[in-house]
Structure 1
């Protein structure tokens, strides 16, 4: 079996790149949703959530770039059209949400999907000794589990 430019088996790296592309598509939707929530939030929690949703979309923007670059590092091409993102993503578009509770629920739903995908990728990257992808997913999971706790506390 032959290896890619960073020493990982090509067949396994291909499977990992496919999973990362699915994660990338979902992050693009999470980013777009966070941006829309930032723009459209209204009500007594406006100032608090407007800032939090900006933090979300800025963080998502960075993660989109990191995931795409990881796919390139593995030797593959990241998805780059919204047609592909919509086809691959499990996260639904969060349209016309302007109230606090539904907005936070949309964020939590997105995190649930992202965490499930990241854990799948973590398992796969661990099996193939891909420390680069493994570390990335581990960092994302740790950060997002804390965010889930905090956003869930908002809803109580």
Structure 2
């Protein structure tokens, strides 16, 4: 049996589960970035304050895109912090004020996200779900470049 967009229903349900987990991770990541943006101190303040804002604005867009993909696959996106905290692998960060430590947090969070995106990409390819494949492919390319840049920043 296929869903509305022609994807096997069982495969779509599996994708929805993984996309919801990614959604939860992005929500926690988003809040981590907001905290870093607000609380960062030190000589890197100006550049990191701006960079963290850039990252949280991008995460905000991705959160909406992931939720809409869940809906397209006939699922229900997670939408409470209770659910996010249960489903997310990304952990909440609190009271990080040191610039390099904040960048390390972002690197760790991005590494989790890109790993999950690769897993979803493989599931989507198996389900011939081009919409999800395209979304994850774009996210992976962007995240890999960002990881390289952040790693270079810390060297």
State the TM-score, normalizing by the size of structure 1.
0.99
Report SS of the residue matched to 1:76.
coil
Once the two structures are superposed, the pairs formed by residues 108-147 of structure 1 within 5 Å of their partners are 108-147=107-146
Distance 1:110 1:48 in 2: 19
- How many pairs does the alignment contain? 155
Corresponding position: 1:106 with 2:105: yes
Gapped regions of structure 2 (runs ≥ 5)? none
How far does the alpha carbon of each residue in 1:108-145 deviate from its partner, in whole angstroms, 9 at most, with x for none? 00001001100000000001110000000000000000
Q: C-alpha distance in 1, partners of 2:112/2:8?
A: 28
Show CA shifts across 1:77-96 (max 9, x none): 00000000000101111110
- 1:35-54 paired onto structure 2 within 5 Å: 35-54=34-53
Specify the alignment match of 2:154 in structure 1: 155
Runs of 4+ in 1 over 2 A off after TM superposition: none
Cα separation, 1, equivalents of 2:97 and 2:115: 27
Please give the alpha-carbon distance, in whole angstroms, between the structure 1 residues aligned to 2:128 and 2:65. 19
State how far apart, in whole Å, the 2-side matches of 1:104 and 1:8 are.
39
SS in 2 for 1:129: coil
Q: Which residue of 2 aligns with 1:4?
A: 3
Q: What is the TM-score normalised by the length of structure 2?
A: 0.99
* Counterpart position of 1:20: 19
Q: Distance in 1 between matches of 2:77 and 2:105?
A: 26
C-alpha offsets along residues 38-95 of structure 1, whole Å, 9 cap, x if unaligned? 0001100000000000000000000000000000000010000000000010111111
SS of the residue 2:128 aligns to? coil
